[in-house]
Amino acid sequence: MKNNFLASRWGIVAVGAVIGIAAALLQKLGNPGNMGICVACFERDIAGAVGLHRAEVVQYVRPEIIGFVLGSFAAALLFREFRSRSGSSPFVRFILGIFAMIGALVFLGCPWRALLRLAGGDGNALFGIIGLVAGIWIGTLFLRGGYNLGRSQKTAAGAGLLMPLVMAGLLTLVLVYPPIVDQAKSGVLFYSLKGPGAMHAPLLLSLAAGLAIGFIAQRSRFCTMGAFRDLLLFGQTHLLGGVAALLVAAFATNMILGQFKAGFEGQPVAHTLIFWNFAGMLLAGLAFALAGGCPGRQLFLAGEGDGDAAVFVSGMIVGAAFSHNFGLASSPAGIGPHGMAAVVVGLAVCLFIGFTLRKSV
């Protein structure tokens, strides 16, 4: 049991590097700019594809997300780590998922995309990353003060199988109703004809990349939020090695592929509002820290049977629908009409959760 190379120092670095390279390649193959992989954006696209929101430019069932869950599921089964568990404050996690997504869509990206934007030369990402770290830092203050969401319980295997099954169902839908050229709808699924939702790598390549990343990320416990949290909380740099490797590998691959373009103006799927780049990720970072994982990590946990992580993922998908239905999400033109209010409400809710959930264990 002690030969899990991917959980070692060099293992996590290798996993981060693979994610960085794969993301840059997926962008080359058709995914949107500096968005080779973005867990928040891709879950948002899935919300659009099934009609939870009707923002026409961001609708596509992203096979990468399906792959992340199923790849993690496969790794957990193969290495006997699949363990069906649930019951650690699920509704709190749902709410945290909603506001994590709202914050991420004010910035326009999850922590992975923040790193990928930086690796592509988008200087605006710096303010997002500063906000992310600040939000996580606030989270560590709550953790030091005794904040926790309580224990989960072992549940029947069927409970933990549900998120992998949901993803298998989504995959089935895509295969039954694949995109049709110039059609905004195929069967029950919505497809973007323009905008980021219309930009995607070939389906099978996206799925394969997602499966591979899901597999190795489950083994390595790769987590961007955890990287900064462990540094701030314990002075530990284990997970940070993976984050640094992702950044460096994506940067190097972007240079080779000619995808690096330094600057602040005119960056793909990004706006230049310094404060809102910061504040969006401040909210997201705090929500990730209170929920115990970045969006990617929550998918990998859901794949290995963690029903509470599955609830967080569901919260993020619902949060994406709220973001676009209520004008909370940003666009390259700037923040949405109600983005400011959403960030303020979100921070208030997260602070409430941080101060009040101190169940003794």
Partner 1 sequence: MAATVDARGLSCPQPVLLTLDAMKTSEEHEIIVLVDTETSKENVLRAASSHGWSEKEVIAESDGFRITIMKPDRKK
Smallest distance from partner 1 to CB 229, Å: 7
Smallest distance from partner 1 to CB 151, Å: 3
Which C-beta is closer to partner 1: that of 95 or that of 320? 95
Which C-beta is closer to partner 1: that of 262 or that of 361? 361
Smallest distance from partner 1 to CB 311, Å: 12
> For the chain, what is the HEC assignment?
CCCCHHHCHHHHHHHHHHHHHHHHHHHHCCCCCCCCCCHHHHHHHHHHHCCCCCCCCCCCCCHHHHHHHHHHHHHHHHCCCCCCEECCCHHHHHHHHHHHHHHHHHHCCCHHHHHHHHHCCECHHHHHHHHHHHHHHHHHHHHHCCCECCCCEECCHHHHHHHHHHHHHHHHHHHHCCCCCCCCEECCEECCCCCHHHCCCCHHHHHHHHHHHHHHHHHHCCCHHHHHHHHHHHCCCHHHHHHHHHHHHHHHHHHHHCCCCCECCCCCCCCCCHHHHHHHHHHHHHHHHHHCCCHHHHHHHHHCCEHHHHHHHHHHHHHHHHHHHCCCCCECCECCCCHHHHHHHHHHHHHHHHHHCECCC
Smallest distance from partner 1 to CB 250, Å: 25
Smallest distance from partner 1 to CB 221, Å: 5
Which C-beta is closer to partner 1: that of 109 or that of 139? 139
The residue written with tokens 């919505």 in the block is: 190
Which C-beta is closer to partner 1: that of 140 or that of 206? 140
Smallest distance from partner 1 to CB 208, Å: 25
Which C-beta is closer to partner 1: that of 333 or that of 361? 361
Residues at the interface with partner 1 (CB under 8 A): 1, 4, 7, 79, 81, 83, 85, 88, 143, 148-149, 151-154, 221, 223, 226, 229-230, 233-234, 236, 238, 292-293, 306, 308, 361
Which C-beta is closer to partner 1: that of 234 or that of 275? 234
Smallest distance from partner 1 to CB 292, Å: 5
Which C-beta is closer to partner 1: that of 153 or that of 356? 153
